[in-house]
Amino acid sequence: RLPTVAIVGRPNVGKSTLFNRLVGKRVALVDDRPGVTRDRREGDAKLLGLEFRLFDTAGFEDEDPSSLPGRMRRQTEAAVGDADVALFLIDGRQGVTPLDEEIARWLREQETPVIIAANKAEGRAGESGRLEAYALGLGEPLALSAEHGEGTVDLFEALRPFV
């Protein structure tokens, strides 16, 4: 069985975009509107020779993104519980939000190891958001751009011990 990685984070941070890039197919729906990923999607991902099973979650997405509704959240709990590592995305351009803090607090209580990354960080756009993310207490944040394919080598190195 392949090692498993679950992408988690609040709506609109680029989870499905990263999923599609790593799985290499347009499997997950990408949309400007929060909350469009209703299902837990999975696919076989490849990254510089690493192979793993990747889950795109929507557990923190809802009509009211400031709430953590039980039904959707349980999907994420299941995905993270089953995963060898969770990849927690924030939006590097927006910086850390209260919902990011809430998700981080929950992730810190889980046994699954967490890699934290500031997405939308093409060029140096996400650097201040990435630095803010140290305060979430989940280790050194990576800089990623799912849309532009930046940060691939750092992501590879962060994932390698777990997959």
The residues in 1-60 that bind Mg ion, with binding defined as CB under 5 A, are: 15-16, 37
* Contact flag: residue 76 with Mg ion (CB under 5 A): no
What is the distance of C-alpha 34 from the center of its chain? 15
CB–CB of 158/88 below 8 Å?
Answer: no
Q: Is 18 or 161 the residue whose CB approaches Mg ion more closely?
A: 18
* Contact flag: residue 23 with ligand GDP (CB under 6 A): no
3-state SS record for 98-118: HHHHHHHHHHHCCCCCEEEEE
Helix (H) or strand (E) holding 42: strand 41-47
What is the distance of C-alpha 17 from the center of its chain? 10
Min. distance of Cβ 37 from Mg ion in angstroms?
3
Q: Is 28 or 159 the residue whose CB approaches ligand GDP more closely?
A: 28
Q: Is 105 annotated as a binding residue?
A: no
Q: Is 73 annotated as a binding residue?
A: no
Distance CA(113)–CA(61), nearest Å, equals: 22
Q: Is 43 or 111 the residue whose CB approaches ligand GDP more closely?
A: 43
Cross-strand bridge partners of residue 8: 88
* Contact flag: residue 13 with ligand GDP (CB under 6 A): yes
* Contact flag: residue 15 with ligand GDP (CB under 6 A): yes
Q: What are the φ and ψ backbone dihedral angles of 56, each rounded to 5 degrees?
A: -100, 120
* Contact flag: residue 57 with ligand GDP (CB under 6 A): no
Min. distance of Cβ 126 from ligand GDP in angstroms?
8
Residue 157's contacts (CB-CB under 8 Å, 6 or more residues apart) are none
Q: Which residues bind ligand GDP (CB under 6 A)?
A: 9, 11-17, 30-32, 37, 119-120, 122, 145-148
